[in-house]
Structure 1
């Protein structure tokens, strides 16, 4: 705990040993003034080592996911699509959103997860929140608004399960303000990792980056799409792990001419040069690249028999973070992420309904040697 002074550490040790200790008891035990102990307690709250009144201590490994919460509508074409006329499809509705999908994957894997987003004061928003809560996620920090309905995304998939058209109503996320972070700051500051997707406004992302210096958490970010990737600052210092795909990476680097596009390995190196500690650049079934201070590794995807590719990228993130929380290095962790992405494509759901630690473990034999 390098960010704690000697007295702060001593106060925290006493609180850990006895969470019901009063400030005067701590002051007497340490030979300090009570006002000094009170000031240290405030700093321990701000740094995320205790969660406010009652000296509630945070879980040792806890993940917070901040970002999109969406009603997904998927339409699978029964035959080749013909534009400007009606086409027969099979329709399916489910809950989605990058951060929401990551949160559901993680909670199904047994991770202590909190989900933070903004939903409409409508049945979709209530159902979405209730679904995650029933799975075991903490949804106490989800904001409800009457100004906009819960976000929706519609995907039209061709007969080969490829995405033909996606449309989205995401304006509700523009209502999420950096000031909302103050409402649950001790809860946020105490997390092991915070994951945020770029559905959040640029000001919120900037606040998470700038405020992490005084907190415990490491920060992972997903760019979501090429336009939303531009919400990230050019200086990526403070981003511990960046997830992006090939198109989004080149967009962030200002490369729009196809012939000049960087390969995943090169793009990952360039994004690291902008300050991100580690970068994962994906190319779907063609594999991905991982860049960190040890160099760049080019990795293969796990062969799949896809049914629906929706949610694969979110599963990649969740599988990676699951292993990172267990202590694996990022290159190793992304192999689990790639496996979970493949398993997700082999289901018609955005999050595999059978997902569990045992289910994931059983699939490990599929990871390329």
Structure 2
């Protein structure tokens, strides 16, 4: 509670001991004016230590995911894709979006999680929210609009499951505004960790990063794609953990790439020089470079028998955040992230249908089989 003043700490202690304590009662105990207590309580709400009226205390470990909510269509070619002609495929439909996928993974792992996004007033949006709510996520802060339909994404995969082309109708996210962040701020401020993806407009990301500097939660962000990474500010101060692949990192840093293994470490260090506290730069099957403080560590990938790569990166993020909330260091947490990413490639679904704390525990032995 280092960000709290002495009086704020004293008031919070009284509320923790007795959530029904009135402002005058608190004022009498501390020898303060009631108006002073009221002002401090407003600050405690803004900083996320209490949830407003009734002094409801936040859960000790909660994540909030904010960003993409998408209806995914995937088409896997039966034979090598031939451009400019019809290709036979096997199609599937599911719910996706980076932040949505991360939220569902976290919910299945047992992490209390809220989800904030924007959907259309259509059956797709309603079904998406119902599905995530059924997983145990809080979707009360999702914005619904009539101007645009719920976002859709179509991926064409080759027979091995590698992406050939992706098509995205994401115009609805342009309607998400900084005011939506302000409206949901007590919800965000009460979180232990907030994860955002770069599907959000640049002004929203900048606003979130600026407001985070006065809040107690840690902020993690994922780049999503090379075109979207440029939505981040040049000064990355205020971001505690940044996820991106090597191409996205080089695009943000405006630098030419070197050999991937060496370049990932250089890119990760360069991101910390831009102000981010920690960075994870992924290299696909080569693993990831993780910077934490002065350390720069290679976290190897986990061997897998891939079926479909879609959602693997989101699962990696979720596994990492899940263990961060449990108290692991970022380097330790990233190993769990690598495992969950590998497990997700072994299923056709973007989120592993069997995922649970027990399922993850049962596969931890695969971390010992990694090659550094």
- Preserved CA contact (<8 Å) 2:160 2:308: no
Q: Which residue is 1:189 aligned to?
A: 189
Q: Which residue is 1:56 aligned to?
A: 56
Aligned runs of 1:289-328 on 2, under 5 Å? 289-328=289-328
1:234 CA displacement: 1.1
Aligned runs of 1:73-222 on 2, under 5 Å? 73-222=73-222
1:133 CA displacement: 0.6
Aligned residues: 368
1:9 CA displacement: 1.0
CA offsets per residue over residues 73-93 of structure 1, 9 Å max, x none?
000111111222211111000
Aligned runs of 1:327-346 on 2, under 5 Å? 327-346=327-346
Question: Any idea what SS the aligned residue of 1:301 has?
Answer: coil
1:29 CA displacement: 1.6
- Preserved CA contact (<8 Å) 2:250 2:257: no
1:22 CA displacement: 1.1
- Structure 2 CA distance for partners of 1:274 and 1:341, relative to 1, 3 Å: same
Question: Any idea what SS the aligned residue of 1:214 has?
Answer: coil
1:154 CA displacement: 0.3
CA distance in 2 between counterparts of 1:329 and 1:153 reads 34
CA RMSD of superposed structures (Å): 1.2
Is residue 2:276 matched to residue 1:279? no
- Preserved CA contact (<8 Å) 2:292 2:331: no
Q: Normalised by the size of structure 1, how large is the TM-score?
A: 0.98
CA distance in 2 between counterparts of 1:81 and 1:243 reads 31
CA offsets per residue over residues 110-161 of structure 1, 9 Å max, x none?
0010000000000000000111111110000000000100000000001111
1:320 CA displacement: 0.3
Q: Which residue is 2:13 aligned to?
A: 13
1:241 CA displacement: 0.3
1:37 CA displacement: 1.0
1:294 CA displacement: 2.9
1:259 CA displacement: 6.0
- Structure 2 CA distance for partners of 1:129 and 1:274, relative to 1, 3 Å: same
1:27 CA displacement: 1.2
CA offsets per residue over residues 308-336 of structure 1, 9 Å max, x none?
00000000100000110000001110000
CA distance in 2 between counterparts of 1:315 and 1:258 reads 26
- Structure 2 CA distance for partners of 1:259 and 1:22, relative to 1, 3 Å: closer
CA distance in 1 between counterparts of 2:114 and 2:104 reads 10
Q: Which residue is 2:230 aligned to?
A: 230
Q: Name structure 1 gaps, 5 residues minimum.
A: none
CA distance in 1 between counterparts of 2:16 and 2:257 reads 56
1:236 CA displacement: 0.7
Is residue 2:42 matched to residue 1:42? yes
Q: Name structure 2 gaps, 5 residues minimum.
A: none
| Deviates further, 14-23 or 146-155 | 14-23
Q: Which residue is 2:246 aligned to?
A: 246
Question: Any idea what SS the aligned residue of 2:298 has?
Answer: strand
1:299 CA displacement: 2.0
CA distance in 1 between counterparts of 2:293 and 2:325 reads 19
- Structure 2 CA distance for partners of 1:260 and 1:326, relative to 1, 3 Å: closer
Aligned runs of 1:18-29 on 2, under 5 Å? 18-29=18-29
